[in-house]
Amino acid sequence: MRYIEPHANMVSRTTADYQAIAMAGCEALCEPAFWAGYDRASAQGFYDYYRQLTITEPARAAKFGIPHFCWLCINPKEAEDPVFAREVMSLIPEFIDKPNVLGIGEIGLNKNTKNELQIFEEHVEIAKKYDQAILIHTPHLEDKLKGTKLIVDALNNAGVDRNRVIIDHVEEHTAGHVLDNGYWAGMTLYPESKCSPARAIDILETFGMENIWMNSACDWGVSDPLAVIKCALEMKKRDHSAQTVDKVIFENPRTFLEQCPNFKI
């Protein structure tokens, strides 16, 4: 099966993972800027990270015939200090025109603080200034619904193009709110948290197959770079047609991502 992996943190994965997803049918991979497992001590650390996303990872992926794309930001987990966050954000214009950059992300909220929300809103303004798509992280567990509502309210107030915004990590209690407000929704497939394949398919069957995608968000933690293709196999077991499966794992992400000028496969 062909598929697109729309959210994978490959800087934390081995080259063998690129080989595995290539053999599974991955035709493109997108990597948002994310938390590295520790808080970086300087903006220079992010400068080097942006170089890794725009130079090193595309080269690694190309060895296996996979186009690699990325998003830029300071992630919400490191955005509590506004002075530091703005220093990092000032680097984005230098990288925004790199040929594999799709837009601003993954921005959002972690603990739903005022500082996080302020930096989120400033990221949105950068996206508007440079006419970029937006990829959004929603908080975990009990903070997810509150954070999702705060994010949606901020986006509505900012007057963004809702077709070019995807709000990721939705679950049963947030998917409807995201989709009803006209934004795209992303489901993350994790072995121990977020959505299992069964839950993700339940969400698809409840809310429909439009404006939604699935991703592995594989990183340095317990995660699976083949999660999307494994969920596709589970969809087939539930008697979803090959056409429906292709829509969810390939056509939907392609439709959203083709709104980004640099996305070509």
Residue 264 lies in a domain: no
pLDDT for res 235: 98
Query: Percent of the chain, pLDDT > 70?
Result: 100
How many separate domains does the chain show? 1
**How far is it, in rounded angstroms, from Cα 76 to Cα 103?**
16
Residue 128 lies in a domain: yes
pLDDT for res 132: 98
What number is the average pLDDT over the span 96-108? 98
Q: Is the predicted pLDDT of residue 142 greater than 90, yes or no?
A: no
Residue 265 lies in a domain: no
Residue 25 lies in a domain: yes
What number is the average pLDDT over the span 209-233? 97
Tell me the average pLDDT of the chain.
Answer: 97
Neighbouring residues of 257: CB distance < 8 A, sequence distance ≥ 6: 4, 6, 28, 30, 69, 102, 263
Neighbouring residues of 130: CB distance < 8 A, sequence distance ≥ 6: 93, 96
What number is the average pLDDT over the span 99-105? 98
CB 235 within 8 A of CB 244: yes
Residue 262 lies in a domain: no
Closest CA relative to residue 214, chosen from 164, 239, 176, 251:
251
Q: Is the predicted pLDDT of residue 193 greater than 80, yes or no?
A: no
Strand order in the sheet with 133-137: 3-5, 26-31, 68-72, 101-108, 133-137, 165-167, 184-188, 212-215
Q: Are strands 68-72 and 26-31 parallel, antiparallel or unpaired?
A: parallel
Q: Which domain holds residue 27?
A: 3-257
pLDDT for res 140: 87
The pTM of the full predicted model, rounded to 2 decimals, is: 0.97
Residue 263 lies in a domain: no
Tokens representing 177 are: 């709110």
49-58 residue pLDDT tens = 999 999 999 9
Tokens representing 48 are: 């080097």
pLDDT for res 15: 96
pLDDT for res 166: 98
Q: Is the predicted pLDDT of residue 107 greater than 90, yes or no?
A: yes
* CATH number of the domain encompassing residue 130: 3.20.20.140
